[in-house]
């Protein structure tokens, strides 16, 4: 089986920053996928990073050299690599893993590299997501996990969330901290826009526990007429 490294570095609110980092130095042979453009649909009523549709993702994956018989090794930051890992599995490509770029001790390559184009044939899963209405209806029966930083989970004013707060009943499992012990039950994870929550989903998977993603996450929820919880200060 052939391996394909994919660079998924990015910065929130800085379009193009990920490609700048890639061009400055990446793992030799790695292709690049942009979180905002390739791993998401355009921002809007479905949130800041809605899921791409099958055709959009298939084109991006094929350009990055991902297809049948290719084992994908994703690396990045702030959930970019885990977002690709999750999307690959969402579209039926389970041959994928995440590696920590900071632990890479080999050489780096500067500039653009073109991967051998591949034919990515998506096979959409139907059991790994949940929509806002269903989540609102069933949240008391689910283990809902908020992957944002504690201050955002508490509902403190911040420059990212237009409406500060959390989904009522949501537990906090910050994406940049060790995964806490969660109660038994069906887990649903969300964050600000469905990217860093994939870190939590990846950690749960490694621990042998599968969970669903709420793709719209808080950037969709805050636009809807649904209940919001926040800590009193």
Q: Which residues are catalytic?
A: 191
Q: Which residues contact 133 (CB under 8 A, 6 or more apart)?
A: none
Vertex 128: Cα angle to 147 and 41 (nearest 5): 75
Distance CA 213, CA 15 (A): 24
Q: Which of 124, 2, 121, 1 is nearest to 62 (CA)?
A: 121
Structure tokens at 131: 């929509």
The token duo for 204 is 């749960």
User: What is the rounded distance in angstroms from the CA atom of residue 103 to the CA atom of residue 198?
Assistant: 20
Helix (H, G, I), strand (E, B) or coil at 98: strand
DSSP string, 116-170: PP--------SSSB--HHHHHHHGGGSEEEE-S-HHHHHT---SS-SS--B-TTP
Rg (CA), the chain: 17
SS3 call for 197 = helix
Give which of 83, 84, 93 is closest to 124, Cα–Cα: 93
- Do residues 43 and 116 make contact, with C-beta atoms less than 8 angstroms apart? no
């Amino acid at each position: 089986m052939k391996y394909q490294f994919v660079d998924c570095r990015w910065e929130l609110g800085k379009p193009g920053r990920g490609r700048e980092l890639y061009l400055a130095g990446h793992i030799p042979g790695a292709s690049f996928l942009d979180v905002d453009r390739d791993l998401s649909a355009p921002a809007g009523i479905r949130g800041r990073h809605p899921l791409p549709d099958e055709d959009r993702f298939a084109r991006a994956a094929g350009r990055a050299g991902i297809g049948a018989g290719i084992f994908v090794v994703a690396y990045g930051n702030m959930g970019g690599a885990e977002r690709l890992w999750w999307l690959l599995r969402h579209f039926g490509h389970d041959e994928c893993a995440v590696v920590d770029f900071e632990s890479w001790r080999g050489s780096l390559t500067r500039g653009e590299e073109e991967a051998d184009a591949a034919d990515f044939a998506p096979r959409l899963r139907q059991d790994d997501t949940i929509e806002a209405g269903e989540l609102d209806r069933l949240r008391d029966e689910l283990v809902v996990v908020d992957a944002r930083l504690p201050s955002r989970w508490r509902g403190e004013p911040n420059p990212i969330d237009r409406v500060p707060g959390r989904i009522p009943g949501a537990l906090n499992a910050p994406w940049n901290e060790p995964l806490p012990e969660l109660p038994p039950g069906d887990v649903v994870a969300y964050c600000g826009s469905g990217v860093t929550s994939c870190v939590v989903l990846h950690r749960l998977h490694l621990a042998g526990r599968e969970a669903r993603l709420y793709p719209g996450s808080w950037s969709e929820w805050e636009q809807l007429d649904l209940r919001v919880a926040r800590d009193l200060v």
